[in-house]
Amino acid sequence: MATISDFTPNEMMTIAAARALSNDDVCFVGIGAPSAACNVARLTHAPDITLIYESGTIGTAPDVLPLSIGDGELCETALTTVSVPEMFRYWLQGGRISVGFLGAAQLDRFGNINTTVIGDYHKPKVRLPGGGGAPEIATSCKQVFITMKQATRGMVEKIDFYTSFGHGDGGDHRQRLGITTKGPTLLITDLALWKPDPETKEFTVVSMHPGVTRENVQETCGWKVRFSDRLEETPPPTELELTTLRELQARTERAHGGKKGS
């Protein structure tokens, strides 16, 4: 078992996210941190997980992390590749995806995601890449996991734009809109694991990573943090988990010449 000095917060975040996936999951994977977590899961405890990327690749098993959904590595290692309309209409909107794994530029306490703009939409401070397939993933997957680094600029009281709908204003907002899927059920950050309150749907810290304090969590979050009455400590990474992640990142670094796939 690794010690606290053996791993970084980012490694802890990726491994904690990987652990949330099971061998039977059919997972719609986002690029970046979600992709790293999903592939660590595939290479460790969930070898039969089905990874699906937005470009239409099904059952892909990349040797290195993709730079984008159009990376040739995904198609070359997939069981099959289907058209984007088929991917969204038959697989995603057909209810065949058990987990959608997303990242976020901005996130609020109810799991609503902004990946469109920072600031006013018409005169933004930063224009982001946009939603891509994330809005459909957020409403059509049976449940959604979110992973991101904690920072007050990212975890905010109110997002600047609703790109992907989480739990809206909380409570039964999803149901009132006719959305029948669970929505965000887990948030994995570099400091903690969060789950929505069963009634209010506000994210609540249920586990803090080794060495992290409540103060660390609060000072990097833009809303007043709620902590579970049964707060736990996340188990540190195992040697297998760390080795698998680091070897995956090293292969990616060599393949992409320093460009980032995670």
pLDDT given at position 260: 53
* CB 163 within 8 Å of CB 116: yes
Q: Which pLDDT does position 174 carry in this prediction?
A: 97
Q: Residue 261: what pLDDT? A: 52
For residue 63 the two structure tokens come to: 């040797």
- Segment 63-96, tens digit of pLDDT: 999 998 889 999 999 999 999 999 999 999 999 9
- Residue 46 placed within a domain: yes
168 is a domain residue: yes
pLDDT, the chain, mean? 94
With respect to residue 194, please indicate whether it lies within any of the assigned structural domains: yes
Q: Could you tell me if residue 262 is inside a domain?
A: no
Is the residue at 258 inside a domain? Answer: no
Among 54, 136, 202, 241, the one annotated catalytic: 54
Asked if residue 257 belongs to a domain, the reply is: no
Domain that holds residue 59: 9-252
pLDDT of residue 4: 42
The CB-based long-range contact list for 160-163 (8 Å cut-off, 24+ gap) reads: 160/106, 160/114, 160/116, 160/117, 160/118, 160/119, 160/120, 160/121, 160/124, 161/106, 161/114, 161/116, 161/117, 161/121, 162/112, 162/114, 163/113, 163/114, 163/115, 163/116, 163/130, 163/131, 163/134, 163/135
245 occurs within a structural domain = yes
Structural domains of the chain, count: 1
CA 199 – CA 259 distance, rounded (Å)? 43
User: 30: which 2 tokens?
Assistant: 């986002």
CA angle 117, 137, 11 (to 5 degrees): 75
| 146, 107 contact by CB (below 8 A) | yes
Reference 247, options 36, 24, 23; nearest CA is 36
pTM of the model: 0.93
**Burial per residue of 113-135, b for 16 or more beta-carbon CB atoms within 10 angstroms, e otherwise:** bbbbbbeeeeeeeeebeebebbb
CATH of the domain at 90: 3.40.1080.10
Residue 163 maps to a domain: yes
138-156 confidence digits (pLDDT tens): 999 999 999 999 999 999 9
Closest CA to 242 of 52, 36, 65: 36
Q: Is-catalytic flag, 54?
A: yes
Residues of the chain scoring pLDDT < 50: 1-4
